[in-house]
Structures are given as structure tokens and as C-alpha cells.
């Protein structure tokens, strides 16, 4: 590979911290350990000290803009420990740690998505507050679909809008939820940033003919770099529909942290006993950013039990997305279990309700279980 795509954030050897509870630690204590062990606060302060205002001094802390992208818009039902969306209590714990250092310009961001095919009222503010439980105390909740700026992402994405707050941020954090995905086996911190693309009809604008979703995901990460990543794997979603619902979630009790989300996602795939190079997003990342050496710190034992999406399903789903109206129909057919405060868009919902039940029955056929612990392979440190 040439050097034209070597990236200052992603094309470098990096460390990924895999943090699990020690001696009965609960969720928030374990996440605090992840922040401490990964050196997150030091990293944030380092970027602030390197920033420059118009007079060449560090940007005042109250003006230094921090944007956090959790998984929000895949949420359809409120759960105390959701396997689908990033735990808002953890996001607010992260915000409290940032505010303790004097930074007050903090935004929690996401953009609208293809649930708009099926349901009404799904702005980021409504979903974040009413389903996920974000309070907005000490930070803004921002819908990136509502205010955009023009940008050239390069590649096949080219000239396309970006959410203004994400574009203008001085420091960007991807705080993804750990879960399987039928498009790429696993959705991590890079695929999470794909959610920042502001056009809600992502099947139409960022999938299929002309550009593939994994190209769009990598291009937005490249053009608007993520400075730090966290992966919420305290409770995880697996199986065919793990990215949108999981009736039997996995209590994986793990947090990942790194200043390189490319490296972080690679290690998360290893914990699922997936070859990371089979993930389309990571394939595209390697194509653009090259290969790197990763130092893994923490428990490398693969998760068990864990149900991966079968390869033929991933191939079939990506083929289907070449046909917009088919992928749009299937998206509605699988969009079940929505909170009643978000009513369906049309009288045809009865038909899609039937289809959603059928797809639930079929989902187990598309899953592949990981090996029992005594048969699992260990990833070398």
C-alpha cells in the first residue's frame, strides 16, 4: 500500500485496554478503571494543551468542544441494561469526568436513521431522553441531522453534508455498544461513527450502488478523526439481530478503551472469535490505513456463550443492499418492538408486524455459536 492514506491517528501502533471487574467491582467502578488504565484524561488534556486559539494559546477550556457519539438511535425499548444502546449512565459518568477537568462545552450526538421508514417522532433528542434516559444535565443532546455543513469526505463519499457539531468539535469520542451485526459481523467504534452521517435514509445515500456502508464509515472516521474510543461491552447483543434487539443478552462485563478505534475494533472482533479481517469495515480500514501492531492489555479469553452471524447471512445482506427498495422493505420487516410513544408511520404496520414475528423465528438459523471455553483459541498478547 502507498502512503497516501497513512493516517496520523489510525496508522500507528497502538494499545487497547480490555478491562473487566476485579474482586466484585460493579459497572461504574470498572468503567472508571478503564478510563484510568487507558490514560483517557491525560490524552484529553494533551489535546487541549496542543490546541491553538487565534493568539496561539490553548483554547479556553470552556470553549474547547468535546463531542461524544454513543449508540442511541438503534434504541427501540427502554431497558435497565440494554444490549442495544450505549448505557447513558456510563456516558454521563464520562461527561462528569470531563467536566471535572474544567471542560463544559460537551455534546452527546447522533443522527436519525432508517427507523424513520417505520416510526414517527424519532429525533435524537426524543429517543435519547424518552427511551435511553439521557438527562441533558451539563451537556447538550444534538441531532446531527438537523444542522449540517458541507464537506468533502474524499473517496466515493465525496461532497456530502456533515453534522455541524461533530465537524466543529475539538475532541471526538466514539462510545459504541458491543454487539453483532448482520452487515459486518460486529459493530464497534468505527461503525458507530457511521451513525454520525446526517442523512437519515442511509440505505439510499450511504449503501448499495455507488458506495458501500463500510466505505462511508471509514471515510467519515478518516476525514473527522476520532480521538478516543470506548466500547461498552458490560452487556452485549449477539446473534442475527443483536444490533437492534436481543431477548437473551450476554453479560460480558468488559470495557474496551484506546486512542485508536481501528485497533480497538480489531481486538473486540477477536473476543468474539471472529477473524477481524473478515469484517468489511476493518477490511476497508486496512485498505486505507494499512496494518498496525496492537498491544493488548487485559483478558483476551473469547466470550462464551456468544452467537456470531453466519458468513452466508452477511454476504446475502450486503447483496440485498444493492437493491434499495428491497433493503428498505426488509428494514421495515425487522423493525419490531418500538416504544409506544413512537407511533407507526402507516396502516400497513399490521403486515410488517407479521413479518417481524416471522423474522424473529428465523433469526436463530442465521447464528453460529462460539466454541466452549475449553475449545476456544487464545489470541496471543
Domain span at residue 345 reads 14-375
pTM: 0.90
Residue 9 lies in a domain: no
Nearest to 158 by CA among 216, 224, 113, 202: 216
312: phi then psi, degrees, rounded to nearest 5? -65, -30
For position 3, what pLDDT does the model report?
45
**pLDDT at res. 352:** 60
Alpha-carbon distance 173 to 236, whole Å? Answer: 20
Residue among 236, 238, 224 at smallest CA distance from 195: 224
For position 216, what pLDDT does the model report? 96
Decide if 5 is inside a domain.
no
Instruction: Tell me, yes or no, whether 8 lies in a domain.
Output: no
pLDDT tops 50 at residue 380 = no
The dihedral over CA atoms of 91, 95, 98, 102, expressed in degrees to the nearest 10, equals: 180
Residue 381 lies in a domain: no
**pLDDT at 362 (0 to 100):** 53
What confidence category does residue 376 fall into, taking pLDDT thresholds of 50, 70 and 90?
Answer: very low
- The mean pLDDT value for 288-296 works out to 97
Task: Indicate if the pLDDT at residue 345 is higher than 80.
Answer: yes
The residues pairing with 176 across neighbouring beta strands, listed in sequence order, are: 231
Residue 162 in domain = yes
CATH assignment at residue 169? 3.40.50.11440
Average pLDDT, the chain: 87
pLDDT at 141: 98
DSSP state of 172: E
Pairwise CA distance, residues 21 & 34, whole Å: 10
C-alpha cell at 192: 458507530
The four Cα atoms 370, 305, 255, 273 give a dihedral, to 10 degrees, of -10
Q: In this structure, is residue 2 part of a structural domain? A: no
Check residue 232 and give left, alpha or beta (phi > 0: left; psi -120 to 50: alpha). Answer: beta
pLDDT for the residue 57: 94
Q: Is the pLDDT of residue 92 over 80?
A: yes
Of 221-235, 246-260, 343-357, the range with the lowest mean pLDDT is: 343-357
In this predicted model, what pLDDT tens digit does every residue of 13-64 receive, in sequence order? 999 999 999 988 999 999 999 999 999 999 999 999 999 999 999 999 999 9
Please check the confidence at residue 220 and state whether its pLDDT lies above 50.
yes
Which span out of 140-149, 174-183, 350-359 was modeled with the highest average pLDDT?
A: 140-149
pLDDT score for 1:
41
In a domain? residue 380: no
Q: Could you give the number of structural domains in the chain?
A: 1
Return the closest-CA partner of residue 260 out of 294, 236, 215: 294
Per-residue pLDDT, 2: 43
Amino acid at each position: 500500500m502507498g502512503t497516501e492514506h497513512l493516517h496520523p491517528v489510525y496508522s500507528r501502533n497502538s494499545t487497547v485496554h480490555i478491562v473487566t471487574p476485579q474482586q466484585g467491582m460493579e459497572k461504574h467502578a470498572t468503567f472508571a478503571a478503564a478510563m484510568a488504565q487507558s490514560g483517557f484524561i491525560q490524552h484529553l488534556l494533551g489535546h487541549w494543551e496542543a490546541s491553538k486559539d487565534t493568539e496561539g494559546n490553548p483554547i479556553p477550556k470552556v470553549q474547547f468542544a468535546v463531542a461524544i457519539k454513543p449508540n442511541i438511535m438503534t434504541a427501540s425499548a427502554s431497558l435497565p441494561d440494554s444490549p442495544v444502546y450505549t448505557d447513558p449512565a456510563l456516558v454521563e459518568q464520562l461527561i462528569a469526568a470531563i467536566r471535572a477537568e474544567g471542560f463544559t462545552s460537551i455534546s452527546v450526538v447522533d443522527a436519525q436513521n432508517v427507523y424513520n421508514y417505520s416510526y414517527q417522532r424519532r429525533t435524537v433528542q426524543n429517543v435519547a431522553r424518552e427511551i435511553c434516559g439521557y438527562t441533558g444535565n451539563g451537556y447538550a443532546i444534538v441531532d446531527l441531522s438537523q444542522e449540517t455543513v458541507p464537506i468533502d469526505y474524499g473517496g466515493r463519499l465525496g461532497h456530502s453534508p456533515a453534522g455541524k457539531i461533530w465537524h466543529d468539535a475539538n475532541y471526538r469520542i466514539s462510545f459504541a455498544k458491543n454487539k453483532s451485526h448482520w452487515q459486518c459481523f460486529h459493530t464497534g467504534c468505527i461503525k458507530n461513527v457511521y451513525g454520525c452521517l446526517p442523512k437519515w435514509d442511509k440505505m439510499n445515500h450511504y449503501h448499495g450502488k455507488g458506495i458501500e456502508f463500510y466505505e462511508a464509515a471509514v471515510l467519515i472516521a478518516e476525514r473527522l478523526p476520532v480521538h478516543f474510543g470506548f466500547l461498552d461491552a458490560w452487556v452485549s447483543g449477539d446473534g442475527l439481530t443483536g444490533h437492534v434487539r436481543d431477548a437473551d443478552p450476554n453479560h460480558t462485563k468488559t470495557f474496551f478503551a484506546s486512542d485508536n478505534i481501528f485497533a480497538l475494533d480489531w481486538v473486540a472482533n477477536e473476543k468474539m472469535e471472529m477473524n477481524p479481517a473478515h469484517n468489511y469495515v476493518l477490511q476497508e480500514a486496512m485498505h486505507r490505513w494499512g496494518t498496525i501492531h496492537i498491544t493488548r492489555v487485559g483478558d483476551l479469553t473469547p466470550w462464551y456463550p456468544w452467537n456470531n452471524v453466519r458468513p452466508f447471512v452477511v454476504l446475502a445482506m450486503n447483496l440485498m443492499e444493492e437493491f434499495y427498495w428491497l433493503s428498505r422493505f426488509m428494514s421495515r420487516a425487522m423493525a419490531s418492538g418500538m416504544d409506544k410513544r413512537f407511533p407507526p408511520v402507516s396502516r400497513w404496520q399490521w403486515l410488517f408486524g407479521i413479518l417481524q414475528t416471522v423474522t424473529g423465528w428465523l433469526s436463530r438459523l442465521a447464528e453460529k455459536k462460539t466454541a466452549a471455553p475449553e475449545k476456544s483459541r487464545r489470541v496471543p498478547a
